[in-house]
Structure 1
């Protein structure tokens, strides 16, 4: 994934003389482009690991152009300074204050002092003994194990094929397609580390190089000091050389479905790096069976989509299928796509024979299916004479292969000429039919497009109406919420009033009960009083009756008194007997009256 870009004008110092001097070393002609090899050679002098340098390259070249412009190189320098200062290698740290980057032997960009190997070997003694036992059990021949014998051991680890391919390439230090005892120990050590979730390094660390190999080793990033040595093959994305992996592929095909990136060959390949990466992505999507190759059936649709004739596509296939296996590897597929792209975009016809710069890098060391296991063009011994001989052998092999391929192409051309006219006629018929079908499809597509435009307009109107309704509904909901809140407030107030009324009702009911009890008691008292009143009234009536009798007795007594007085006044001559009788009658009358009064009382 491409890293997010940060405005370089805010992060990279302008007019920095140190940065300018560094840039002048990698781009003395000021072309504005720093290739991967030049940048790798220079940045490796920082002493950082290949993993960190690979991350720096990804951040400096986020678009995957395969080269750095001046600002991109400045970003790389700044990121190197970040790593050397102990900061995390990210674009966000570009504006931190830190010392400038430091490089060893920057006065000569073509030379670098190899890092000194550590005195100890990372493979422990007990590990070495165990690995030697496994080595002996595989029955080495002359102290060497071929890829065919090593493959089952590596496959038993269940590690991904790309990891196993990298392990093989790192452990095959002398690039002879075989592993000796020490190289096998390195391979097993890397496998065990990978099983413990440790990443497999892109380049073999000095501590892992067996002591027996250290004197011969050219360290990553270093240029051999030999008069006729070719330029280094390293790049910032250090990957195992394909030459060693091919030796394993020839015996057991341990090559992963994602092929390892090719190192920079002696002769540049005509396929640009950016196009190669794009073609590799297409290859991965096309390789449905994940066997590392694509058949004619798998690429037929892609090739026919270019619009080129079948004869021309067949010729391109023959050029790319350098081993005549009937299928294409990732590099061969990239070469075929490059020829198709050149013809479609620029009108450049594919050649009749592949030139040396057109041969895929993975095919240059082993140009034909019958070639021997001699030293490939991409491998060097460090001795000028042997290197020259190996180069001459590789060149002769390429010429032989080109001649054989030319003969095959001419035979194929003769065979194809007989059916070419008929094929062209068939092609014309098919193209005419296809054109008619395309016209019909075009009209149908236009009709569908018009219908979809109408539907789109209707949907827009419907969407507008729905939005308006949603807005109205939203307002209504807001109003309802306000009303609900108001009603909830009123309801709460009414509930409070109801509770108070209930309390008052309970109090009144209690008072009513008390009053009813009081009334009941009063009624009892009233009945008692009424009875008493009746009794009193009876007594009063009796008293009145007696009083009336007394009045009558009194009147009668008054009359008697008056008679008595009259007797006294008129009957002076009466006898005492009459007077005594009269007095007795008065006394009896008075006693009868007072007795009635006493009873009344």
Structure 2
């Protein structure tokens, strides 16, 4: 129902003038790019404009008709006057007309509206590409005939592409990043989508590549796996000659939701090729959790320390005093140790991707206990600085980087012996670090009974290590389940918020229906009064007609009487004349 007049009342003339400026060509609908450029003249913040767009484009067509434009104008006016941006403001006649001037967007918000993606797992199904109504030409609307995207979806993707103001027909990663983040997918999935979409590997997306990226995003939101290689029907003829990327490992489903969406794609190097990035280390013990959006959780892995790196350098290149203050801030319980949860924020703030952070954690978590002391924390920050400078993070911890506290008594690090001095190493069976020197001496001595006892202790320690590993693995699984539960709770809160919004809309609709009922009752009362007036008029008309008939009959009777009187008068006149003649004769 087009209730544009009611929305604009009592400023209909001003709204019509604004609509003429908004739609100078008189088109039936205005695209997102043109609408965004006009609405930005209100100088409202981008989040408010995004909310206004969502309410204006209620049918999610990526464009506005006249009613949608009037809704946008009314909501802009409400926001400018400090009122809430909601449908309840549409019929508020006390809201003054909106004001549009030259756009002055903030520097950190030089982007356009972000499309509203559906929640993960509840995206509306995208219908398959039509086959019968497409022409037999190999190219349809600039795309192959077997392009698996409907024309409506293609128009939507093109609208999003144009709204981001492409330069020379391309969008940079910084322009595309807010749109992809808004989908709520985890960083790893977004990185894979970028890798498949950026077919020419120039760090930008053209119209074709942006279409592929958005299509893969919507497919992923329907819980469909991201393909390891781009399907042939999604390869445009102009891209056929380019080498197609193949993902090094199978994609995993996203555990995130809209409410738990990532806040930055800095965790994922979208401009580098995934096949050139270091693969994630093998899973061992829980180390650190990043977020609840389904992003990969770094886990420690056994990177052996090779004794062939040379002699042990007593000069450790890491200065712990540089990181002592940061370590104290992370060590909230002041026990001299930090775990993955404590240093999650510092790690995320580095901007490195998840595999690199996991690899660094595995190197510094020498005990595989999920906790770091000051030296290990300083080593972690030292390796992060190396990675940020573009240097390669080693797969094995070099001997000169082993913290000094782990060099005493020639302990085993990552199940390898560490030399205590040049050319000398202790080659012992794989024991826990807590193994005493007496047990080692017993294993190397000639006393068989002591050897057996030491071997028994060694076996017990190894069994204890395995049990601890199992416990840590269970804790890891429990953390993952807790993260999943938190995501479900967030999604539940989102659904509850949606239900509340729907209830408010229902209340508003009920109020409007009641208003309509009152108007109907008033109109019915007016109609009844008109009907009664009509009946009264008809009665009066009938009375007048009857009176007219009676008057006509009376006139006829009077006419007859007059005729008879005239005859009598004529006879009297004749008689009078006769009498006069006779009198005249008698006089003579």
Q: TM-score, normalised by structure 2?
A: 0.28
Larger radius of gyration: 1
